[in-house]
Chains A and B, each alone.
Chain A
Amino acid sequence: MKIFGIKIPMMASLILWAILWEIVGQLELSILLPPFSHILIRMVEIVPTATFMNALWITAKCFLIGTAIAIVVGIPIGVLMGRSIVIDRMLLPWVNMFLSAPLTALVPVLMTLFGFGTKTIILTTVLFAIWIIVLDARAGVKNITPSLVEMTKSFQANFWQAFTKVYLWAAMPEILAGIRLGCIRSIKGVIIGQLLVSVVGFGRLFELYSANFLMEHMWALLFVLFFFAFLIAEGLGVLERKFEYYAASRN
């Protein structure tokens, strides 16, 4: 963007919003909106504490395990759905249903089954992330040029070779897009899971801060989480663009 011939960086508007926030905060209109500078100071204060680090560790662990499960289970299911009409007919209605379903409502069910611990949080993460990964892998496999499938058959690849040497790679641009979207949903899942379980990790901290009206702490925590979510999504976006060159050259 250019204003009066001066190039403005992408994130410049955020600075403007931060200033606006500071002004509104200083006016002390609401306890919900403390001044921005106070939030930043609080952030520096709480991030190094053991409670915060512990919560971050639990979140990171649940996020990584949950996302890994979603990827490792989701991609093969998606590839199978893309290659087999029978499997596709069997699973597609469920995948579509879960993709748009309000999954938060299922978390209490998971809690009764798996208790108030990391297990439930991990499963919530999987539940949030897996469906889009399945659907994107399926779309990727369906987009494979028919002649590439024929090539695989005519050189007599067995099922495993076809899967690992051709289909997985040919569908890679879509699979990566699915993983990126899955990760974004994972972050939602890992936070919502913790909020509902509310006795471990950030869930406990949120519970603690909101119960005591510690708004500065609350905002500080949110900003840290937003920042991590943004970082993960952007990092995966970069990876995805590296594979895009051959998405175009596939056909």
Chain B
Amino acid sequence: MSAAAETVSDNAQQIAVEVDNVTKIYPGGVEALNDMTIHFPKGELTSLLGPSGCGKTTLLKIIAGLLKPTAGKVKVNGVDVTGPGKERAFVFQDFALMPWASVIRNAAFGLELQGMNKSEREAIAEKYIDIVGLKGYENLYPHELSGGMRQRVGLARALAVNAEVLLMDEPFSAVDEQTRRKFQEDILEVVDDEQKTFIFVTHSIEEAVYVSQSIALLLPRPSRVSEIIRPDIRRDISPDAIRRDPVYLDIVERIWQGLRTYVE
């Protein structure tokens, strides 16, 4: 694999996030990423898909500024990333909600940290709680919600700060299967409506094909971008029809064939 820029999109689109020659070696010598270069186009949902150990979560956390790369550079809208920033928001695998705070306070927490006054931030949080489908649950606490609902709060919190880039770390992996399907359908709507760049880490092939405009297939040892796939499945048909669409099934099968040698 050459170090040439691996742009996810083939047409001349604006790039929201550039990852250039990023290497990450953890203390102790474990190499999570090796000279990885990948560009994420603006306004699309790009999935990072790969078997465990391919460094997809590490890459996402480096983009988020939560981890420092050992070498290489990450730019968001042309500006170097040195730490977490306003233009990026993170959705956590285990939701990372504050159990002592109500749904609305959790959803407004990013704005609270920015110093916005209470009525203003709660008005914004309320709007996003409505968008993620939790209207009426504002005053409940996380332990009173199901896993899927908790992640909706996590999503509302990330949307409320109005970041341009949303980083989602296996957001549905702790959510049960039925809830996950509904959630995937809803996320497509959010992507359409919000005009934001989504980077979505997942280990589910079906999920990646279903929700993504493009999929970056990562492979481990050494970790690298093996392929960029644009699953041009029809979006004008119903969700259930998509899941039975031969194009959709072919892409899932093709990715599986590419990955199976890496799965023990």
Contacts and interface: CB of A to CB of B under 8 A. Distances in A.
Per CB-CB distance, the 5 closest pairs between chain A and chain B, nearest first, are A151-B96, A246-B99, A249-B143, A147-B96, A154-B90
Nearest to A245: B143
Interface of A: 145, 147-148, 150-151, 153-157, 161, 165-166, 169-170, 172, 245-246, 249-250
Contacts of B66: 150, 153-154
Contacts of B157: 155
Given A154-B66, A156-B85, A169 B90 contact: no
Given A145-B94, A150-B66, A150-B92, A161 B99 contact: no
Contacts, number: 58
A249 B106 CA distance: 15
Interface residues of B, number: 28
A155 B92 contact: no
B65 interface: yes
B113 A155 contact: yes
Interface string B239-254: 0000000000000000
Contacts of A249: 99, 142-143
Nearest to A246: B99
A169 B143 CA distance: 15
Q: Which secondary structure dominates chain A's binding surface?
A: helix
Given A154-B89, A155-B161, A156-B84, 7 more contacts: A154-B66, A154-B88, A154-B90, A156-B113, A170-B100, A246-B99, A249-B143
B117 to A, nearest CB: 15
Contacts of B113: 155-157, 161, 165
B85 A145 contact: no
Contacts of A161: 113
Contacts of A147: 92-96
Contacts of A154: 64-66, 84, 88-90
B207 interface: no
B143 A145 contact: no
Contacts of A151: 90, 92, 96
B96 A150 contact: yes
A152 to B, nearest CB: 8
B96 A246 contact: no
Q: Which of B95, B98, B114, B157 has the most CB of A within 10 A?
A: B98
Q: Which of A147, A157, A165, A172 has the most CB of B within 10 A?
A: A147
Interface in B19-67: 61, 64-66
Nearest to A157: B113
Q: Which of A151, A154, A156, A166 has the most CB of B within 10 A?
A: A154
A123 B98 CA distance: 37
A250 B66 CA distance: 21
A147 B91 CA distance: 10
B138 interface: no
Given A155-B161, A156-B84, A169 B94 contact: no
B112 interface: yes
